[in-house]
Structure 1
Amino acid sequence: MRNNFSLFINNRNEYCLKSTKLEASNKTDIDVALFLDATETSSVAKGLFCDRVDKPMLIYPEFEETEDLTDVEKFAGRVRSILKKQCICWTSISMQLTSIYYFDLGNFVEWDKNRSETPEEVKFSFKKISLYSMSVPQQYGGLNLNNKAKSRIYAELGCDLTLFASAFVKNELICETLKMFGSEEEKRTYLPMLAAGDINGAFCLHEHAFGQDIASMRIEIVENCHGAGFKLNGQKSWVTNGALADLLVVFAKVQSKNSDQRVFSDPSGHLSVLLVDWRKIEGLNNLIIPETAILGNESAGFHIAHSIVGNSRYSFSAVAHMLHHSIEKNASRMVDHCPNRISLGNVERLVN
C-alpha cells in the first residue's frame, strides 16, 4: 500500500498535511492519516518573502498587559526628557500619527565638543531612573526588562552613541554575563551595585592586533606557581568604559603546564572569562586571579562570547531607527545648504 498525502497551503500561509483514505489490496478501507490537520509554522525567511511575518517566531514577544506597554513608554519618556533638558536641542516632527524626535546636528556638535566624558548630571539622572538596571533581575534591584522593552529605550539613546554605548555595555554585556554565567555570590555582590549605578563595568574582548578574533588573542592566564589561582598577563584595547570601570569581564587564553612545569599554550584553544575587580588592581600584568573569578569553567569562553555578543545585537537595530530619522532630517538641511553657501559675502552655487 502506498500512502498518498497531499500538501496544500491555506489562507494563513501555514503548511498543512491532508490525508486521504485509500483502499488497500484486501479491499478494507484504512485511514492512513498519521497527522490529522497537522500544521507547521512557516519560517521567518519565508514569511518575509511572502510579506507576512509570523509574530510568534520573533524574539520580541507582544506585551502581555496594556500596562506593560504604558510603563515602557513612560520610561522612554523620562529618558527623552533627560536628553532634551541636559544634552541636546531636540525637535519634534509629526510623521503619520507618531511624534518622531530628532536632534539638531549643529547644536549636538557644539555640545559634544565641550565634553571630555558624559556629564555627571546626565549620569546622575540616568541612575535615578534606573537606566543601568534594565537587564538586572528584580531580586537584585533591577527592572528585568525584556528585549522588546529595552529596544524602545535604546531607540531614545540613539541620538548619542556615547550614551548608548555606556548603557549598552552595562546592561547587555556586563549584567547579562553575570546573570547568565556568574555564581550566586557574584550576582549578590555586583548586580545590586551595577543596577544602582554605583560601579561601572567594562567588557574586555578586543585586542589591538586581532580585534574580535577571539581565537587569535594573546592575553593569557597560567596557573600561579606560588599559590592558588592564576596569573594574568596581556593587554586589551577598544574597551568602552575602560577608563571608568570598576569591574572588568576579561577574555583570556588558558595556558597549562606539562610534567616539567613548563608553560605551553593549550592546543584545544580553550578560552576563559575572568571577573576582575578593577578597584583593587593597577594593571593586567602579573595579576593574580583567584579560581573563583573564572566564570563558568576554564573552557567556557567561546560559548560565553558568542552567547553574550550574539544576543545583544538586537539593540543596534533600535539605535539605527533613531539615527535614520535624525540623519534624514539633517541630510535635508545639508542639501539645502550646498546651493546657498555664503563664502566671502557671496553665495556659492555648489550644486546646479
Structure 2
Amino acid sequence: MTTVPLDPSEAERLSESLRPHYSDVLQYDRVLLTAHSHQAWPNVAKAGLLRSYEDAAEFVDDKWGRVLAVGARVRQGIVDRIGGRIEEVALGQNTHTLVFQFLSALDLKERPHLVTTTGEFHSLHRQLSRLRDTGVDVTFVEAQPVDTLAERLASAVRPKTAAVLCSTVLFETSARVPHLRAVVEAAHRHGAEVLLDAYHAFCTVPFRVEDLPDPVYYVAGGYKYAQWGEGCCFLRAPSDCHLEPVLTGWFADFAALAAPRDGRAVTFGQTPADRFAGSTFDPASHYRAAAVLDFHDREGLSVERLRALSLAQSARLLEGLEGLDVVTPAAPERRG
C-alpha cells in the first residue's frame, strides 16, 4: 500500500488545526523530533487518566466491569486499524511480556531453532540472546541490506525452526522490511510460527492482517506513533491459535477459577486473546489509550492520514539533512 505525502501547505494546515489539541505539551518551548520513540500526547490523554481515577474512587473493586469495557474499546480500535477480530487481540503492559508468552508456548525441545534479525529492538534482541545462552539455536540474520532481508530470513528457516521473529520497520533506521510474505510462506512450509514486531509501524504505516496469510502473530504498542503512552501494548493471535503459553496469568481462563484444585491440566479461555491474557494490571493506560483513540476518530486521523502527514514531516527533515549520511531511506515507500 502506497501513501502519497501531504503537500507542504496541506501538512501545515493540518498541523495548525491540531495544535490546540496538544497545548499541554506545546506550552514548553521546544521542537519534538521523538515520534519514533515517545510521541507527544494530545490533551485528551489527561482526561482519560482522570476518568480512570474517578472510576476507581467511585466503584473501588467494582470498577473492573468498566475497566474491561474500556479495554474492549482499545481492542476494537486496534482491529479498526489492522483488521482481524476483537477476540484475537490480547492487551499487555509491554511487548516483552507478550512476546515471552509467545516464546513460552513454543515446543523448543522438538523445534530448538529460532530465526530473527540483527536489527530487532533491544527487548527482543536481549531475550533471544539470552535464550541462545541457554542452548536454544538462534539464527541472527544480518539486517542490512534491508531490501533482501525477507528473502534471507526465509532461507534461514529449516524443519526444526519453531518461529521467525522480525520487525516490519527497523527501529534503528526506520526502514520498512519489504517482501514479508516470503518469510511467512517459508515459515508455513516448515510448520514454523511467525511473529511480526510492528511497534515502529503501528499507526504510521498502514497494515491489514489480511495482507499476509495466517497464521501470523502481530505485536505492537501505543508508546510511539499511536500516542497512547506507556503500558498499553497488544498481541494479535490468529483465529485458529492453538498455542498454550507456559507464562500464563489468571485472566486467561476466568471460567476455570472455581474448578477443583485436583491436579487437572491448565485450561485456557475460548478466544485466541484469552491464551495471552495476563493478570491484574494498572488500567490507567487503557483509559488514556481509549481517550486518544476517540480523539483520533473524531479528528479523522486514520492511519492513512497520519501516514501522509508523517511522510511530509520526515521529507522536510530529510531535505534539511541533504548532504549528510542519513540511514533512513529517502524514498517514501521505503521508510517508516
Higher relative contact order (CA 8 A, sep 6+): 2
The answer to which structure has the higher helix fraction is 2
The answer to which structure has the higher strand fraction is 1
TM-score for both structures, normalised by structure 2: 0.21
